[in-house]
Chains A and B, each alone.
Chain A
Amino acid sequence: MTTSNTGNQQEALGNAIEKTTRIVSYFLLTVLAVTFLLPLYWMFTGSFKLQAVTMAVPPEFFPLQPTLDNWTRLFTGTWPIWRWVANSVAVSLLTVLLVLAISSLTGYGFGKKKFPGSNVLFIILLSTMFLPNQVILIPLFLLVRFFHLTSTTLGTYFAMAMPLISSPFGIFLVKQFCSSIPDELLDAARIDGASEWDVYSKIMLPLLKPALAALAIFTFNQSWNYFMWHMVIATDKFQYTIPVGVSIISRTPAFGKMITDIGLTMAGGSLGAFFMIVFFIAFQQYFIRGITFGAVKG
């Protein structure tokens, strides 16, 4: 009788503790999440504030007289904002396409083919994976300048994609993924008379889909925010990508004074962030798979 009683009491106490810890952890998490999202909130609400309001002390935590003025000026002003969005999308898509083609072919070659020298070739490739990307930007910049690649739109897009396309990470990822696919499957197809290209395109590619999807999403985001390179090779405002454009807006004095047009900058920043955030929410699973791939088993 007494034992079951203390048992019940302990259980009740345990439940109470569990409940409290749960409430406390929800509270802590919410506070932390709000803190980390505050800059984005501030940017978004700031895009609906007049310049005088953006510089007001005390600041308005919520725009009391919201205005569309910044957004109208962003879309109808001198900056070719939609061109920047189009450039960002085009460059990121081109990068994704090239990375997928190169990574799947090369990764499959290294993962499923045995040929003399494959180990050495792969190790050379892998050894560049952790190198700082900035090191190659100077030679590539000279290359772009030498061939006048930025004189045409397509050339500019290709030049912007250039440093990311031979992705050692992508090749490594596909190779790892290939090794989880049994050889018997491929051999069976060969016995049935499939050519080597068929084995790759009809059997391997469909199986690689989850890995390639994760790689595509990862690369898209990486290319979208590949700011230094885009800024270095863009020669006029029609070649900017969205991050370059936003940085230029934030550095351009406005209203005939030496001050930044805060509202316009926040509108531009919100637009730039908007696309990537929507993209992330739509493809969250792939983002997470891309990040955890290789680092965590299972």
Chain B
Amino acid sequence: MTHIRTLTQEIRKGWSGYLFIAPGYFAFIVFMLVPILFAISLSFYKASFDISARQFVGFSQYTQLMDDPVFIQALVNTIEYTFVIVPATVIISLIIALLIDPLGPRNQAFFRGAFYIPGVAGGVVLSVVYLWIFNPTYGILNYLLGLVGIDPVMWLASPPYSFVAVCIVVLTFTIGQPIILLLAGLAGIPQDILDAATVDGANSLQKVIYIRLPLLRPVLLFVLATQTIQVFQLWEVIYMVTGGGPFNTSTSMVFLIFQTAFINGNYGKASAIGVILMLIILLFTFIQLRLWKTSDI
């Protein structure tokens, strides 16, 4: 009897639970889940502007991509961007966070804000300034380099430099978030551990290497994960600053998705690229989660 009563109670409680999640879950299904599944299915079709005329082609778009030099270039570039931008972001933001940490609250807030502001201004706004800064004839960067005796660089038109240019723009607005995260992590390290180390004669550098970095590990892993996912999705700076060029040397996977889908109208192929990107990010997140678990936090 009581058993049945608790069961009915469970169901009644359960009903309100379903009601509370219903609107949000409905939106999630319509605007997220179905689109994801639809994109996966679209990757097996040759689909163009007239979507109803799509043709099933199986895995052929995937196999074609493997022989597509532009796709391979985009894939390699995306990985290269990640390997350059992510470590650079982590190291620079760690140095800045360690410099800000000992300051008083007001100065902390000031500098933290100063480094975050380029991020809120957004990639498009920063890109239009950088287009001017990178201009080979009247850009300020070549002028400044000229002052120290470096010859003018064709920033956006010659292969290694266009890649470097994209990295510089991205770095400007990605360091703010890690700095905030690392500062919060540093503030969470108990002062008495650091004091104990001081008593034992450890200098500042030793305290950073042996105490702060190990204790920051979970935050560093989080920063690494979020930054990597962000850089994997890099595209707006490329669209604005280099257009992927010259000769696709600075293109990325998401920029290629954008071009393939919204400029060339090849929705099937673009979806296939999207699915591959999705798989790479999934694999990456999985590895991150494993690392997380072994970090004992």
Chain A positions near chain B (C-beta within 8 angstroms): 21-22, 25, 28-29, 32-33, 36-37, 39-40, 42-43, 46, 54-59, 98, 101-103, 105-110, 113-116, 118, 121, 124-125, 128, 130-143, 162-163, 165-166, 168, 171, 196, 200, 221, 224-225, 227-228, 232, 243-244, 246-247, 250, 260, 262, 265-266, 268-269, 272-273, 276-277, 279-281, 284, 287-288, 291-292, 295-298
Interface residue B34 (Cβ < 8 Å from any Cβ of A): yes
Add 10 more A-B contacts to A57-B137, A109-B17, A166-B32 (CB < 8 A): A22-B102, A36-B114, A109-B18, A109-B19, A118-B21, A135-B39, A142-B267, A250-B131, A269-B129, A292-B181
Interface residue B257 (Cβ < 8 Å from any Cβ of A): yes
Taking a contact as CB atoms under 8 Å apart, the answer to whether A105 and B20 are in contact is yes
Interface residue B72 (Cβ < 8 Å from any Cβ of A): no
Q: Is the interface on chain B under 10, 10 to 19, 20 to 34, or 35 or more residues?
A: 35 or more
User: For A39, what are the chain B residues with a Cβ–Cβ distance below 8 Å?
Assistant: 118, 126, 129-130, 133, 172
Contact residues, B255-287 vs A (CB, 8 A): 257-258, 261-262, 267, 270-271, 274-275, 277-278, 281-282, 285
State the Cβ distance, A23 to closest chain B Cβ, in Å: 12
Interface residue B222 (Cβ < 8 Å from any Cβ of A): yes
A-B contacts counted at CB < 8 A amount to 270
Interface of B is mostly: helix
Complex-state Cα separation, A106 to B99, whole angstroms:
41
Among candidates A36, A133, A246, A297, residue contacting B128 with C-beta atoms closer than 8 Å: A246
Taking a contact as CB atoms under 8 Å apart, the answer to whether A227 and B124 are in contact is yes
Which chain B residue shows the least CB distance to A59? B140
State the Cβ distance, A140 to closest chain B Cβ, in Å: 6
Interface residue B111 (Cβ < 8 Å from any Cβ of A): yes
Taking a contact as CB atoms under 8 Å apart, the answer to whether B277 and A132 are in contact is yes
Complex-state Cα separation, A56 to B122, whole angstroms:
27
CB contact under 8 A between A296 and B96, given known A102-B23, A139-B34, A165-B31? no
CB contact under 8 A between A128 and B33, given known A139-B39, A243-B122, A284-B109? yes
User: For B172, what are the chain A residues with a Cβ–Cβ distance below 8 Å?
Assistant: 36, 39
User: For A136, what are the chain B residues with a Cβ–Cβ distance below 8 Å?
Assistant: 31-32, 35-36, 39
Contact residues, B16-53 vs A (CB, 8 A): 16-21, 23-25, 27-28, 30-36, 38-39, 42, 51
- Sample of 8 A–B contacts (CB below 8 Å): A40-B129, A42-B129, A102-B23, A105-B21, A106-B23, A128-B36, A135-B39, A168-B28
